[in-house]
Structure 1
């Protein structure tokens, strides 16, 4: 099973270690990633010119992969600009201020709402639906923007996406690879999801509260400086008009949710529905607020949104470009230069790890967590879970039990790491909506998620 590790695999691992090391030291990783792409390209192709081109092509590939996320974030930011400019935002958030009165309520309320919506429609559209409305409320209640991003990220891209009880995309992939029914994986995952979710969110909350008490947390996000100068012009719309739009906008998004359920939309399709609705709201508000200047103002708001989107995504594209080479991006960018039989650099590393460990229940659990985490490094979370299912089947057969538990464990590890709580570009939706650095959010999540994975792996050992 798998192929012998080549120089490409060891170079990839070396640069992963370097990137993580630079992140931990709070240094920028763009240069390291670009050098990594170039070194991998020249070792693979042996062609200096093609390797230079490979750096640029890897950027194009990363942008194509991230484009839908860039678009939805940019459009929502454009809409939020006109909401703030006209004062509609103030009217919209006023009811929530009666419920969310302190940081604790803000963290848990936003997190639980995010988890529930994400179960039905996956996290990206849920971030879009919740973030624009609840972020200002949470900040007023005393929860920093980074805390809001953590709540949405851990509950949505963590708990909801790793369990995927409703849509069942993740458990279907892992169950098919492991050769067991989907219901077995879901049943086995329930205790592990609960342990992982409770441990991670509680640890994250207490670390957040600790740093808030020490005065280490800024209320506004990293990229919020330009918003401080935003002046509300209440003359653009009357109070009655502001109240009308404050009701219309949530109703429009609720209708989106209904549409998602009725037409069975999820993932990218659900995000597209939210994005299209946001564009029409933006146009309507710009025309009503600016009258004759509505046409020009619509374009102006969109430009602001896209400027913000690329400001946030700019530092992420090089690192995404590097990590995509570990999976499907390699062939798309550099061509057929992988060793025969390779399943992609990241998957090969996971298979190699599984092949060298002894077959016991405890080691099997640790291996599935590690393999899941490694395969999650490509930032998808989903690309490696079939490998986790296959390895779980091998280990389960070898030790005579626990295939479903091992499959669920590998699924949880892969999606928590790659689906969006540790890999910087995977957690961009929550970071961008809250105007915080995705790298800072990843650093904040690191300790809680690692502790959660360790505890969950130990619990899995007892369930085998």
Structure 2
């Protein structure tokens, strides 16, 4: 028998509806999440000062939960800046340029390479790492620039980011909101990512070939001349390393990250442990390359690259923190942030709502799957991909409680729908 629903439960439902409504209208949800946290807190405690403090406390809780994810992405972005500025990325990618002989090879090689690099470097830095090197090669092979962009987005911001098997930023957000271990969400997402990836990449390849055959797309379509404001500075840094030194680092970096993957399997590292291993390796690479390249100024440049990475990390997760703060109230975060104000029989707001929903509405796995797909797609409409996946995880928990099974699969489905829509493949970031 489920716990009796209180005003707190209905307020939580109301703000979920409001958040979804704001996302449908493509409006920012930060304000509505903060208001939701305040109203839930003041309803529970009756104290104005405690309720105001709960807003800040919820942000602290969310940042604490997400800190390892923010840190690893920031560090990896900082590391990728060192590879780009020193020209090591050119050497890392150059062996693949010899394989690109036809438009078809260009599409699949660039896509698969983008996917693999995005697993370790995050898609946005991966674009910078391989785009400038492989775009001219693909154009010479006859693949239009739009085809290159489609391949990089579908394989990077789509397949790699929606699964996020190595850095595990996306599955951590959804798993925390759903109250599940990260490993369960990752395992459940694998077949979904494979199906989504095959359907989208094969369809895109067919459309590109069709438009090339009809003449709608050519190798010059969408090509513009672009110069970098930092070109002279980057050339200066690239000249500081000899080609042998660049080759050494170009070989060392993949070997180190491959060793990380092997260690994850052999030592059964998941979640925070896996993230820490990748992050520590990225810090080691960043420091090594920066000190080797900049010599006496290496200490200062190390800090500069880290600052650059942190700016990127908090820019990405800035919109996520208020939303995550609200949805953490639906589970374990309520007692930590606000206190012990739920009924004694309660198992958390979301679990209580799931039990109540199951007793009122006959639910099925099919209804849950459609609902999570729609909710995930709606949360991605703001162009972030990450800002709303906590909502997807929370609703997946609600439906799984009502159905009695499938929590990990529904969570992974909502995550994939949100990121494919909002991560850069449909709605622009």
TM-score (ref. length: structure 2): 0.70
1:244 CA drift (Å)? 1.5
Indicate which of 227, 241, 244 corresponds to 2:248.
244
1:387 CA drift (Å)? 7.0
Using a 3 Å threshold, how does the CA distance of structure 1 residues 313 and 287 change in structure 2: closer, same or farther?
same
**1:8 aligns to 2:1 (yes or no):** no
Indicate which of 409, 414, 428 corresponds to 1:412.
409
SS in 2 for 1:232: helix
**1:231 aligns to 2:231 (yes or no):** no
The whole-number CA distance in structure 2 between the counterparts of 1:280 and 1:264 is 22
**1:365 aligns to 2:358 (yes or no):** no
The whole-number CA distance in structure 1 between the counterparts of 2:58 and 2:149 is 32
Q: Match for residue 78 of structure 1?
A: 78
The whole-number CA distance in structure 2 between the counterparts of 1:327 and 1:352 is 16
Q: Match for residue 130 of structure 2?
A: 137
1:62 CA drift (Å)? 0.8
Q: Is the 8 A contact 1:154 1:201 kept in 2?
A: no
SS in 2 for 1:301: helix
Using a 3 Å threshold, how does the CA distance of structure 1 residues 2 and 285 change in structure 2: closer, same or farther?
same
Using a 3 Å threshold, how does the CA distance of structure 1 residues 127 and 342 change in structure 2: closer, same or farther?
farther
SS in 2 for 1:95: helix
Using a 3 Å threshold, how does the CA distance of structure 1 residues 113 and 243 change in structure 2: closer, same or farther?
closer
1:252 CA drift (Å)? 1.3
Q: Match for residue 58 of structure 1?
A: 58
Indicate which of 339, 345, 352 corresponds to 1:348.
352
The whole-number CA distance in structure 2 between the counterparts of 1:269 and 1:218 is 43
TM-score (ref. length: structure 1): 0.66
1:23 CA drift (Å)? 2.4
The whole-number CA distance in structure 2 between the counterparts of 1:339 and 1:218 is 62
Q: Is the 8 A contact 2:9 2:349 kept in 1?
A: yes
Q: Match for residue 433 of structure 1?
A: none
Q: Match for residue 142 of structure 2?
A: none
Count of aligned pairs between the two proteins: 378
The whole-number CA distance in structure 1 between the counterparts of 2:154 and 2:19 is 22
Q: Deviations over 1:242-265 (max 9, x none)?
A: 121111111111121222222222
SS in 1 for 2:347: coil
Q: Is the 8 A contact 1:24 1:443 kept in 2?
A: no
Gapped regions of structure 2 (runs ≥ 5): 139-144, 166-173, 380-387
The whole-number CA distance in structure 1 between the counterparts of 2:337 and 2:344 is 18
Q: Match for residue 93 of structure 1?
A: 93
Q: Match for residue 282 of structure 1?
A: 286
Q: Deviations over 1:96-118 (max 9, x none)?
A: 3445776842685258759xxxx
Using a 3 Å threshold, how does the CA distance of structure 1 residues 32 and 226 change in structure 2: closer, same or farther?
farther
Q: Is the 8 A contact 2:350 2:398 kept in 1?
A: no
Q: Match for residue 339 of structure 1?
A: 343
Q: Is the 8 A contact 1:8 1:43 kept in 2?
A: yes
What's the RMSD between the two structures over aligned residues? Answer: 4.6
The whole-number CA distance in structure 2 between the counterparts of 1:358 and 1:349 is 14
Q: Is the 8 A contact 2:240 2:293 kept in 1?
A: yes
Q: Match for residue 24 of structure 2?
A: 24
Q: Match for residue 42 of structure 2?
A: 42
Using a 3 Å threshold, how does the CA distance of structure 1 residues 44 and 127 change in structure 2: closer, same or farther?
farther
Q: Deviations over 1:231-252 (max 9, x none)?
A: 3322221122112111111111
Q: Is the 8 A contact 2:122 2:161 kept in 1?
A: no
The whole-number CA distance in structure 1 between the counterparts of 2:354 and 2:253 is 46
Using a 3 Å threshold, how does the CA distance of structure 1 residues 45 and 67 change in structure 2: closer, same or farther?
same
The whole-number CA distance in structure 1 between the counterparts of 2:319 and 2:66 is 13
1:41 CA drift (Å)? 1.3
The whole-number CA distance in structure 1 between the counterparts of 2:198 and 2:262 is 29
The whole-number CA distance in structure 1 between the counterparts of 2:336 and 2:374 is 23
Q: Match for residue 310 of structure 1?
A: 314
1:283 CA drift (Å)? 0.9
Using a 3 Å threshold, how does the CA distance of structure 1 residues 298 and 138 change in structure 2: closer, same or farther?
closer
Using a 3 Å threshold, how does the CA distance of structure 1 residues 308 and 206 change in structure 2: closer, same or farther?
farther
Using a 3 Å threshold, how does the CA distance of structure 1 residues 189 and 131 change in structure 2: closer, same or farther?
closer
Using a 3 Å threshold, how does the CA distance of structure 1 residues 94 and 276 change in structure 2: closer, same or farther?
same
The whole-number CA distance in structure 2 between the counterparts of 1:160 and 1:315 is 19
SS in 2 for 1:277: helix
The whole-number CA distance in structure 2 between the counterparts of 1:106 and 1:64 is 39
1:351 CA drift (Å)? 2.1
The whole-number CA distance in structure 2 between the counterparts of 1:286 and 1:334 is 45
Q: Match for residue 268 of structure 1?
A: 272
Q: Is the 8 A contact 2:354 2:397 kept in 1?
A: no
